């Protein structure tokens, strides 16, 4: 198996606020292999997007990466820990876009309404190269052609508000690929798009990955998208990775009660007509009142009293590439912080 192109180790990203500390990401670990698609899935609020933003060091204040490692392996075999880089420094700015591209969740809030899409593409291209403005414009037209935008030579002078949602998302992908990165992070790339456009965007991502050998991190709450696109899956809950493994294993032999609950909540064509959809009992805890022990235990029908509510389970390997953090599989645990409000912000 090839060395991971990106390794995240016990990443913690916290938001320091007057009411306390929100541990948005609290010890997440995973690997991204070259040419593979890693799907990160979970309910809204589980830390998926904050994890992605932490990788590029673009977490908005008052959030900050507290600890952990984000190890980026370069083509020459060297490894750099992105956590140790200055988030506003030159090297980190070169990583953004140059080595890791990012497709943001909402194009209208990411694209400027005051500049043409061509100007925005040209700026991104010239930021990571010494191209002339004319050469960068030609490259911008090539990128628009690559992502399937019709009449790219004319569209390059359009503004974002003149484009449909699907075309704006294609522009976002073109921007992410402007400097030919080796890793692409797609944060909910099909949100707010109709079903037909969603399929087109996913097909485009698959085509670009095959042509350019991209390693992709796909963030979504849609298990159907994960089943179609991912090679490996990380299931997150309340800032922690609770299960990870190959997509076939996660869908056909899920181990963690949360993973099973997510899969059971998917509508099925085999379900009885007019039957109710299954839901996950309870709701995600308030950010300032995280439960002690396993974060999922208040909603878990299989919780072990006296253990799940007192200790955090450490990952247990069920196979070469399948790991789960759950005491049902004999995993070890570490003492948990008390329930209720966490540390006070300074």
- Tell me the per-residue pLDDT of 16-35, one tens digit each, with 9 for 90 and over: 988 889 999 999 999 999 99
Residue 242 predicted with pLDDT over 60? yes
Could you tell me which residues come within 8 angstroms of residue 296 by beta carbon, excluding any fewer than 6 positions away? 237, 238, 242, 256, 257, 258
What's the predicted TM-score (pTM) here? 0.89
Reported as type and span, the H/E element at residue 220 is: strand 215-220
343 found inside a domain: no
Reported as type and span, the H/E element at residue 126 is: helix 117-127
Reported as type and span, the H/E element at residue 14 is: strand 6-17
What confidence tens digit (pLDDT) does each residue in 143-187 have? 999 999 999 999 999 999 999 888 998 999 999 999 889 999 999
DSSP state of 272: P
CA 110 centroid distance within chain: 17
Give the C-alpha separation, 310 to 308, whole Å. Answer: 6
61 found inside a domain: no
In the chain, the percentage of residues whose pLDDT exceeds 90 is: 64
Q: Which of 147, 164, 171, 4 is nearest to 77 (CA)?
A: 4
240 found inside a domain: no
Q: Which of 294, 238, 298, 286 is nearest to 19 (CA)?
A: 286
Mean pLDDT for 78-92 is 93
199 found inside a domain: no
pLDDT of residue 194: 81
Reported as type and span, the H/E element at residue 142 is: helix 133-146
What token pair was written down for 285? Answer: 């805890």
Residue 268 predicted with pLDDT over 80? no
Mean pLDDT for 312-340 is 76
DSSP state of 320: S
Residue 344 predicted with pLDDT over 50? no
Mean pLDDT for 236-265 is 93
Q: Domain total for the chain?
A: 1
Backbone angles phi, psi at 56, to 5 degrees: -95, 5
pLDDT of residue 327: 92
- Helix spans in 24-116 (H): 48-55, 90-98, 107-110
Q: Which of 332, 290, 274, 289 is nearest to 307 (CA)?
A: 332
261 found inside a domain: yes
What confidence tens digit (pLDDT) does each residue in 205-239 have? 999 999 989 999 999 988 888 999 999 999 999 99
Q: Could you tell me the maximum CA-CA distance found in the chain, to the nearest angstrom?
A: 67
Average pLDDT for the chain: 88
pLDDT of residue 117: 93
In the chain, the percentage of residues whose pLDDT exceeds 70 is: 94
Query: Which residue range is the domain that position 251 belongs to?
Result: 247-270+278-335
Residue 191 predicted with pLDDT over 80? no
201 found inside a domain: no
Mean pLDDT for 71-81 is 94
148 found inside a domain: no
Q: Which of 124, 102, 107, 106 is nearest to 51 (CA)?
A: 102
Residue 322 predicted with pLDDT over 70? yes
pLDDT of residue 1: 62
Q: Contacts by 265-272 with C-beta closer than 8 Å and gap 24+? A: 266/223, 266/224
230 found inside a domain: no
């Amino acid at each position: 198996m090839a060395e991971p192109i990106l390794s995240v180790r016990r990443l913690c990203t916290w938001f320091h606020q007057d009411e306390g500390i929100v541990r948005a990401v609290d010890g997440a670990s995973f690997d991204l292999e070259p040419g593979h698609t890693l799907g990160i899935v979970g309910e809204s609020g589980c830390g998926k997007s904050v994890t992605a933003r932490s990788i590029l060091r673009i977490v908005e204040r008052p959030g900050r990466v507290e600890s952990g490692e984000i190890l980026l392996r370069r083509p020459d075999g060297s490894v750099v820990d992105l956590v140790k880089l200055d988030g506003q420094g030159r090297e980190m700015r070169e990583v953004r876009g140059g080595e890791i591209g990012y497709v943001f969740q909402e194009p209208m809030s990411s694209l400027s309404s005051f500049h043409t899409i061509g100007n925005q593409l040209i700026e991104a291209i010239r930021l990571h190269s010494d191209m002339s403005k004319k050469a960068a414009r030609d490259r911008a037209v090539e990128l628009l052609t690559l992502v399937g935008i019709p009449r790219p030579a004319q569209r390059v002078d359009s503004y974002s508000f003149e484009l449909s949602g699907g075309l704006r998302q294609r522009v976002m992908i073109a921007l992410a690929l402007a400097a030919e990165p080796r890793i692409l992070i797609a944060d909910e790339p099909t949100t707010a798009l109709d079903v037909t456009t969603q399929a087109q965007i996913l097909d485009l991502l698959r085509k670009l990955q095959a042509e350019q050998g991209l390693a992709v991190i796909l963030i979504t709450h849609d298990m159907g998208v994960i089943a179609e696109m991912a090679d490996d899956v990380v299931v997150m809950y309340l800032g922690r990775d609770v299960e990870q493994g190959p997509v076939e294993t996660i869908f056909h032999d899920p181990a963690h009660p949360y993973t099973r609950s997510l899969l059971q909540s998917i509508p099925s064509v085999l379900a009885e007509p007019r039957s109710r959809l299954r839901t996950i009992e309870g709701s995600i805890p308030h950010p300032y009142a995280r439960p002690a022990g396993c974060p999922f235990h208040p909603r878990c029908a299989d919780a072990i009293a006296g253990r799940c509510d007192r200790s955090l389970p450490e990952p247990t390997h069920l196979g070469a590439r399948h790991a789960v953090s759950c005491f049902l599989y004999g995993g070890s645990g570490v003492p948990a912080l008390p329930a209720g409000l966490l540390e006070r912000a300074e």
